[in-house]
Amino acid sequence: MPVPDPKTFARMLQTAQENDYALASINVTSTNTLNAALAAFAESKTDGIIQFSTGGGEHASGPAKDMALGAIALAEYTHRIAAELPIYIALTTDHCVPAKVDKFLRPLIAESKKRVDAGNAPLFNGHMFDGSELPMKENMDISKELLSQMAPLGIVLEVEAGVVGGEEDGIDNTGAEHSKLYTTPEDMVYVYECLKDIGPFTLAATFGNVHGVYKPGNVKLNPKILRDGQAAVVAKYGDAAKLNLVFHGGSGSLIEEIHETLDYGVVKMNVDTDCQYWFTRAIAGHMFENYEGVLRVDGEMGDKKVYDPRSYTKKGENSMKKRVLQAAEELRSLGKSIYV
């Protein structure tokens, strides 16, 4: 199926919300990592999300070194390939801090507008603005301005209230104040009040989650923060106001903690670090196992079959595919698709 249109993406999120599961959102940086995620979703008949960060977009653009151009190129590739698959693959972008809005988000919104003006669906289903480094009012002021541009195009805005700890893709919150790692119920109500009349949005509320890789149990989460925030929103505005929440920094989380967040309204969980590892782990294994073949040692010619990049990147794709399937299983979305 094609990348979902706005109404279909809204239905994907709503179905996840109503059935207490989340869509795995996989960060990719190349056609190889993108193919790994697509294969996992297609073979298991699971709806999912492909996501690009600013750094991933810049990497994909090669010598152009243009983060927006790289994201557009991978998104267009996804539209082509996804059209041949029996599931829905949505497209979003990851953390975009205020300093990168003009060179990342605005060009992507403009690209979708060109498509919509021509009678087509937008290129992307959603974009994230990460204004968590700003005071809350300033964060929401910029969020409102961006959503007012995105909503008419059918694009969902993801915002962040609170700070996800750790470091990922150039965003370093390792020194963040402890209190900022936990979104308050008042924060969640404020976000809802600021954006509810403009258009569709999702919220990355923080509850001790941390970017990076950690052993299970080392990250101290408090998912009940999500429960309390949802309760505050619903108490003031009714059941229809329940927020679609996003889980960032899931590496090292216990399975019971992940499941608890699903019960509180998480409909999307980002998966990046572990996928990077499993892609690279398989390639490292290939190199160790075929050392004399991948190198021309002592004047020998090596073995073209094992230094052909297709031989080891395919192993990387297959390995990463397994991690994507694990993510979907942990999020209770494995085998679930609204495509009929």
CB-based burial of residue 335 (10 Å sphere; 0-12 exposed, 13-18 middle, 19+ buried)?
exposed
**Residue 94 among the catalytic residues:** yes
Alpha helices in 151-264 (DSSP H): 185-195, 224-237, 255-263
Place of tokens 């021509």: 118
- Classify the phi-psi angles of 169: left when phi > 0, otherwise alpha if psi is within -120 to 50, otherwise beta: left
Among 49, 43, 5, residue whose Cα is nearest residue 244: 49
- Rounded Cα distance between 44 and 86, Å, is 10
Q: What does each C-alpha distance from 329 to 75, 118, 122 come to in angstroms?
A: 25, 39, 29
Q: Which of 47, 94, 169, 272 is catalytic?
A: 94
Tokens representing 218 are 């080392």
Active site residues: 94
